[in-house]
Amino acid sequence: MARTYPDHPGEQSAQDPIRLLAIRDTPLSVDEVFAAAGDSAAGGTTLFVGTVRDHDGGSDVDKLGYSCHPSAEAEMRRIAEKVVRDYPVRALAAVHRVGELAVGDIAVVVAVSCPHRGEAFEACRMLIDALKHEVPIWKHQMFSDGTEEWVGA
């Protein structure tokens, strides 16, 4: 059953807008996520790509590792369902990587398509912010000076 939105008369979402949710231990594909979030009725698609940066908190980062709780994908789904309820999402996709990553590697890719660009930006921001704060994924940073730090644990 398609959903209608009172703020968007006549606009309905796709039957199953959550097209791709995954946690993977292999390199992520921006093209795959973008394609999964495509929808011919969408006027805007917003894509966010999170990469491993070379510093954090004033220290040089050599590499990092991501690990997750077994419930992480279920939490991703819960968040995606909330975004779909709150915005006129035509299609949504999100993939997060676990394992050891080097500086420059892609850690997360999310994309959201909506009838209009503003909605797509807002929905994508809600999606990535909620994923970062609510999904039990932990980052283990290893610094150039030999120190290390767990983030989100």
Confidence category of residue 53, pLDDT binned at 50, 70, 90: very high
Tokens coding 152: 């989100």
- Burial class of 111 by CB neighbour count within 10 A (0 to 12, 13 to 18, 19+): buried
Stretch 78-88: mean pLDDT = 98
Give 80's contacts (C-beta < 8 A, 6+ positions apart).
18, 21, 92, 94, 127
Q: Would you tell me the crossing angle of helices 117-134 and 72-86 to the nearest 10 degrees? A: 150
Q: Which of 39, 132, 126, 41 is nearest to 84 (CA)?
A: 126
| Domain ranges (residues) in the chain | 29-49+69-135
pTM equals 0.88
CA atoms of 68 and 76, how far apart (whole Å): 12
Confidence category of residue 15, pLDDT binned at 50, 70, 90: confident
Confidence category of residue 6, pLDDT binned at 50, 70, 90: very low
CATH architecture type of domain 29-49+69-135:
Alpha-Beta Complex (3.90)
Stretch 88-101: mean pLDDT = 98
User: What mean pLDDT is reported for the chain?
Assistant: 91
- In the DSSP assignment, the letter for residue 130 is H
pLDDT at position 153 is: 63
With 50 as the cut, is the pLDDT of residue 8 above it? no
CA atoms of 97 and 95, how far apart (whole Å): 7
